[in-house]
Structure 1
Amino acid sequence: MSLYDEGHTIAGWTGVAIATAGGTVVGLGVCTASLPVAGAGLAVVAVSVLVTWALHLSGWGKPPGVRPRGQWGMRVRDVQAREGHPGCVGCRLAGRGRKRPADAPASVSAPAPGAIPAESIPLSPIE
């Protein structure tokens, strides 16, 4: 068995179920040539994204990568959700995971972890 259990979460399965229903409604709208029905299906798909994001932020979604076996179960909440997951776009959009040094002013943010300074990037022969 793999150490990666991507998508085996309440947030993942709920989002897929709602998006599947929305995709079905979009297909029905296309088959019946009904723009309002297709638009309603697209709205349901958009709601699936918001519901998945909300569940992820509340701890029912887990970050990608290797986790201890005790956190593999679908009904196990993520303990890191409040701080934000490193490299997670959803957490960044919610304002989580942005840490500033204690001595830095509020308007200056710390560089991203793993960021390479611009002066250390080698230039191509043309430049």
Structure 2
Amino acid sequence: MALYDEGHTVAGWTGVGIATAGTSVVGVGVCAVSGVLLAVGLGIVVVSALVTWGLHLTGWGKPPGVRPRAEWGMWVRDPWARGGHPGCVGCRLAGRSRPVASALSVPGPTVVGDGTGMEVRGAAVVGAGARADVGRGTP
């Protein structure tokens, strides 16, 4: 059993497989100097994007961000795909958007860091709401 989520999904692997076939056809078209093969290969790549998007919307893709441990398996379907994922461009394009909860809309700490050891001391949250910004000190 994996110790972390590798992000493997049915949508991802299917899209990569179709895109690989498309780019292979494009490569043959370049070598053969064939505009028809180039167009067919690029068409296959576009189809791969559409198939991946469709599978994501039906629950076979990974939402943005970290998934719970119970959903790490490749064959685990996403039960929240129908309502849309917060911050997901594909869901937004399909008209399934939920508002994104902003981490900066609540009062922040006086030390800001991203876990890498790089911290800004004396930082404060400036502004309010979803467009809040982090700055040094308070105005």
Q: Which TM-score band applies after superposition, normalised by the shorter structure?
A: 0.7 to 0.9
What does the per-residue CA deviation read over 1:1-51, in whole Å, with 9 as the maximum and x for residues that have no partner?
554432x00000000000000000000000000001110000000000000
TM-score (norm 1): 0.75
SS in 2 for 1:30: helix
Q: How many angstroms does 1:121 deviate by?
A: 9.5
Tell me: CA distance 1:98–1:69, structure 2 relative to 1, closer, same or farther (3 Å). closer
TM-score (norm 2): 0.69
- Greater relative contact order (CA < 8 Å, ≥ 6 in sequence): 1
Instruction: Please give the root-mean-square deviation of Cα atoms over the aligned residues, in Å.
Output: 1.9
Aligned residues: 107
**Structure showing the higher strand proportion among its residues:** 2
**Structure 1: gaps of 5 or more residues:** 100-111, 123-127
Aligned position for 1:5: 6
Pick the structure with greater CA Rg.
2
SS in 1 for 2:131: coil
Identity of aligned residues (%): 62
Kindly report structure 1 stretches of 4+ aligned residues shifted beyond 4 Å.
none
**Structure 2: gaps of 5 or more residues:** 103-129
